[in-house]
Amino acid sequence: MYLVEFFAPWCGHCKALVPEYEKAAAALKGVVRTAAVDADAAKSVAGEQSIKGFPTIKFFFSDATGKTRSSTYEGARTAEGIVEWAMAKASKAAMTRLGGGGVGGGTGGGGGGSDDGTRKPRGNGFYPVGSPVVTLNADDFASGGAVSATPGPYLVEFYAPWCPHCQSIKGDMEQAARSMKGRVSVGAVDCDAAENKPTCGDQGVEGFPTIKLYVPGKRSGKIFKGERSAAAITEWALSEGAAFFAPPKVHELTSHKLWSDACLAEGSASRPVLCVVSFVPAIHNASAASRSKQIADLREVAKRFVAYDIAYFWAVSGEHPDAQAALGLEGPGLVGFSPSKQAHAQHLGATDVDSVSDFMSLLTRGKVGLRPLAGSMPAFSTVPAWDGKDWTPPPGYYDDEL
């Protein structure tokens, strides 16, 4: 078994890799042979190995039939990452010769998860029953299994219990799972378990932990290559899976109970990070067409920001005077409210899709300052729902003008 680096003398990344590769070679001495090939001087060899960039590190081994096989390293350019991957490949190569098909180390991140309640709880010593990370097995990847049958995105962590990186990332994975509950299903597969090794091999797992996102209509998952943190994993999974999320509902605010249930949701795991309320002009100061368009534009904004945990509302300006004033608005406008911080920010500009989206982009990235409520949040009024029609003056409304 050989670990070979293909480099070019003029390549800056190759020069930077030298000390890391030498450390890796020293650590692997007696286990995996290491070498380096100057691809500028040995162009034919580099061509045969389809080397298209520098540095490229490949692992070579002979299978049980004597055929030479290879695999390309795609992880971090560090001694630790290279050694971990090479040792995993060596283990897999040895198991292949035995006919065992084992799987080992490599690149990628971790995962967290949530059960949809339709399956019997499953756990193990790594992610026990009750963990937000669902324990998966080979059946879950078969036709009709949890991963393939779930209508939305499924984030899967492939791990080995003995892997230090897998152990250190558990907390982040569980935090990511809780953050994405209801939008991205998340599970984990123990690739060290004999019954799961063929599945891990079929899924192209070459190292631990590896995270893949599976979406409806595609059999292969997309691998996560970012920072192994809850924030990074959550952001990536929500971004990649956004096309499969159902757009959030835009509620007409007709009572404080609706606001309390959909926004405040105190003590609930489904409590949104933000609540957005568009206060529209009273119907006698507008038209049914203009109001309908404003509501439709808010729905379009909700679609654009579907990856974020936001609840959307619209209300008639003036019908909820105490709550509207507490949120800093004296007339029509849009406000973003953080239920956890009890703070708000206003948008008093145009209400078209692009203008509101610009405000939302700043708000979701923390670029807009939030102002704390002056006191407790007043209740929204109980009002009748809009009938969708233009305003009709009551009988005698114009009598004084005669």
**pLDDT mean across residues, the chain:** 86
The label of the residue with tokens 């019997």 reads 120
Cα–Cα distance for residue pair 361/365, rounded to 1 Å: 6
Instruction: Write out pLDDT tens, residues 33-71.
Output: 999 999 999 888 888 888 888 999 999 887 767 778 888
pLDDT at 106: 35
Q: Per-residue pLDDT averaged across 232-238, rounded?
A: 89
Contact 134, 115 (CB under 8 A): yes
268 pLDDT above the threshold of 60: no
150 pLDDT above the threshold of 50: yes
pLDDT at 124: 56
Q: Which two tokens stand for residue 8?
A: 């070019």
Annotated active-site residue 14? The verdict is: yes
Task: Please tell me which residue in 166, 191, 200, 263 is annotated as part of the active site.
Answer: 166
Q: Coil, strand or helix: which one is 261?
A: helix
Please report which confidence band the pLDDT of residue 122 belongs to, taking 50, 70 and 90 as the band edges. Answer: low
* Candidate ranges 60-64, 126-130, 139-143, 157-161; pick with highest mean pLDDT: 157-161
pLDDT at 35: 92
287 pLDDT above the threshold of 90: yes
Q: Which two tokens stand for residue 207?
A: 């190292």
CB atoms within 10 A of CB 247: 13
Residue scoring higher pLDDT (118 or 130): 130
Please report which confidence band the pLDDT of residue 295 belongs to, taking 50, 70 and 90 as the band edges. Answer: very high
CB atoms within 10 A of CB 69: 12
248 pLDDT above the threshold of 80: yes
CA neighbor of 333 nearest in space, from 373, 276, 385, 376: 276
183 pLDDT above the threshold of 80: yes
pLDDT at 111: 35
CA neighbor of 91 nearest in space, from 226, 256, 205: 205
Which H or E run includes 146? Answer: helix 146-149
10 pLDDT above the threshold of 50: yes
267 pLDDT above the threshold of 60: no
Cα–Cα distance for residue pair 332/340, rounded to 1 Å: 25
Task: Please tell me which residue in 14, 200, 263, 275 is annotated as part of the active site.
Answer: 14
Annotated active-site residue 263? The verdict is: no
112 pLDDT above the threshold of 80: no
109 pLDDT above the threshold of 50: no
Annotated active-site residue 191? The verdict is: no
Could you give the percent of the chain with pLDDT greater than 70? 90
